[in-house]
Amino acid sequence: MPDVTEAVLADLLAFLGDSPTPFHAVASAMSRLEAAGFRAIAETDDWSSLAPGRYAFPHGGSSLLAFVIPDGKRIAGFRIVGAHTDSPNLRLKPTPEYKKEGYAQLGVEVYGGALLNSWLDRDLSLAGRVFVAPEGAAPKTGRTNVEGRLVRFTRPMLRVAQLAIHLDRDVNDKGVILNKQEHLAPIFGLEREGAKTLATMLAEELGVTPERIVGSELMLYDVVTPTLGGRDGEMIFSARLDNLAMSHAAIRAVIDAAPAAGAGDVVPVAALFDHEEVGSETAYGAQSGFLPRALERIVLGRGGSREDYHRALAGSLCVSADMAHAVHPNYESRHESRHKPVLNGGPVVKINSQQRYATSGSTAALFRDLCARAEVPVQHYAHRTDLPCGSTIGPIASTLLGVRTVDVGNPMLSMHSIRELGGAKDPAMMTRVLTSFYGCPDPGGP
C-alpha cells in the first residue's frame, strides 16, 4: 500500500490532469466528494430541515461548497478553507475563427496575470463548457433550458508560434515583447476549402448537431500531463498548481475530517471560488454572496436563528489557501532576505502589513500550532517592501464575513506560467494540517 504522501500526490496529479478548466476542476472535486459519501444538493433545494451529514454543491459550474453538518443541533462556528479554481490562461472570444495569410486562427483574450511568453511554442488544445439546446428545438428561438456540457479535446490542436530569431535579433537581449491583441492568436490550421469549423468539431465531440450549440466558454491549455520531475522525483511539473493544488488540499482535507466532524459542534467547509485571478467581483467569486448565504442557510436549516448565525460567525475561522512564492535561486534578490520559503519545506504563512494577506498575529500563531501538532514544518513569507504585493481571497472573505483568517499556501516557482513547479512532499503536509484545522476548537483572541 502506498503511504499517505504518495497517495495524496498521486491523487493531486490525477486531479490536475483532469482539470484543464475551472468547470472540470469542480466536476473532478464533486466526483471525489460523492465517492466519499457527500450528498449532492442544489441551492434551489429546501434547506429548512437539513439533517446531519455530508453535503456538496457546485455554484455556477465553476465554484463549489462542501460541508459537514454535525449531529448536534447547535452550530458553534465554521472552519472554512477557501481556495480558487481559476488560473491565468488564454480564452476564446465569442466569435473566434478568422483567416489570415493562409492560416486559420482563433481570437483569444488574456485571462488574469498570465506569463505570456510561457504560452509560446506549446502543444495546446481546447477545453471548457458548451451550451446545448434540447433536441428538436427550433433554431433562433428563445431557449430557457439549455444544457451546459463539459468538453475537452485531448490532442494538440493549436500553437502560438514565436517569431524566429532571424527576424528578431534582439530577442535574447531585450526579451520577448508581446502585444496581447496581435501576437497571441494561436494557429488552428491551414486555410483550405471544406475545412471543419470549430462549431462542427464541438458538435462531433459532443454527439450533437451544430445547430444545437448555442454558446460556449472555451480555454486553451497545454496537453502535456502533470508529472514528477527533478533528480529524485522530488518536484511536480504541472499546469495550474496555482491554485488547483490548494483546491485539492481543501477537498482532501474536508473528506478526511468528515468522520470526526459529526461529534463536534463546528461545521467544516471547503469553499472553492472562481475568478480570483481577475478580482473575485463576480457571482462566482469570493466577493459574491454565495458563501455567506450558504452559511446562514446551514444554521437556519438546523433550527437556528439569524442571531445564532452571527454568533456562529463570531466563533469561526478561515484559512485562505493559495500558493506561495518559493525563493528562486536565479533571482534571490527579488525575495525578502529573511523570508525565503523552499520547496518541500512545509506550508507557508503569508503576512503583509498592507493587508494584502489577511493573516493576523493570532491566526499566524494558530496555524503554527496546528503545524506543530501535525508534526509538519512551517515557513513564512513576506514580500519585499519595495515591490507591490499580490493578494488572495483571504482579505475578501475576512471582510465579507468578519471572520478571523490566515493566508497560507505551498511554495512554488514559475507562478502564472503555463507550466509551474512545486514540491512533491508539500501537498500531503498541507492536507494534514488542513484536516487538523477542520477539527480545531475556537482559540479565542482577535
pLDDT of residue 145: 85
The secondary structure element, H or E, covering residue 54 is strand 53-59
How many other CB atoms sit within 10 Å of the CB of residue 344? 16
pLDDT of residue 270: 98
Where is 93: in which H helix or E strand? strand 89-100
Residues 286 and 376 both lie in one domain: yes
The Cα–Cα gap between 30 and 13 comes to 16
Q: Is residue 445 part of a domain?
A: no
Q: 376 and 251 share a domain? A: yes
Instruction: Name the pairing type of β-strands 404-409 and 317-321.
Output: parallel
Q: Is residue 371 part of a domain?
A: yes
> Half-sphere exposure (CA, 13 Å, Cβ side) for 353?
2
Together in a domain, 263 and 350: yes
> DSSP class of residue 28?
H
Domain boundary among 222, 251, 269: 222
Same domain for 103 and 177, yes or no, is: yes
Question: How many angstroms separate the CA atoms of 146 and 148, rounded?
Answer: 7
Q: What is the number of domains present in the chain?
A: 2
Predicted TM-score (pTM) of the model is: 0.96
Q: Same structural domain for residues 202 and 265?
A: no
Q: Does some domain include residue 233?
A: no
Residue 258 lies in a domain: yes
Residue 404's Cα: distance from chain center in Å? Answer: 22
Q: Which pLDDT value is given to residue 143? A: 54
CATH number of the domain at 204, please.
Answer: 2.30.250.10
User: What tens-digit pLDDT sequence spans the chain (446 residues)?
Assistant: 357 889 999 999 999 999 999 999 999 999 999 999 999 999 999 999 999 999 999 999 999 999 999 998 889 999 999 999 999 999 999 999 999 999 999 999 999 999 999 999 999 999 999 999 998 765 555 556 899 999 999 999 999 999 999 999 999 999 999 999 999 999 999 999 999 999 999 999 999 999 999 999 999 999 999 999 999 999 999 999 999 999 999 999 999 999 999 899 999 999 999 999 999 999 999 999 999 999 999 999 999 999 999 999 999 999 999 999 999 999 999 999 999 999 999 999 999 998 999 999 999 999 999 999 999 999 999 999 998 889 999 999 999 999 999 999 999 999 999 999 999 999 999 999 999 999 988 777 77
Give residue 56's identity as a one-letter amino acid code.
A
| Structure confidence at residue 1 (pLDDT) | 37
Instruction: Give exposure, 147-184, as e/b (b: 16+ Cβ within 10 Å).
Output: eebbbbbeeebbebeeeeeeeeeeeeeeeeebeeeeeb
Same structural domain, 260 and 391: yes
246 to each of 126, 263, 325, 347, how far by Cα in Å? 24, 26, 14, 11
Among positive and negative, which fits the CA dihedral 394, 397, 398, 404? negative
* Domain assignment present for 248: yes
Which of 171, 187, 222 terminates a domain? The answer is 222
In terms of domains, do 121 and 178 share one?
A: yes
408 to each of 69, 350, 368, 381, how far by Cα in Å? 25, 6, 11, 9
Whether 446 maps to a domain, the answer reads no
Give me the domain span that covers residue 111. Answer: 89-222
**Closest residue by Cα to residue 11 from 248, 223, 227:** 248
Do 53 and 134 share a domain, yes or no? no
Strand-by-strand arrangement of the 324-325 sheet: 227-229, 235-238, 420-423, 411-413, 324-325
CATH number for the domain harbouring residue 351:
3.40.630.10
Q: What is the pLDDT of residue 4?
A: 82
In a domain? residue 229: no
Predicted pLDDT at 446: 73
Q: Show which of 171, 196, 222 is a domain's final residue.
A: 222
> What are the grid coordinates assigned to 200, written together?
462542427
pLDDT for the residue 196: 95
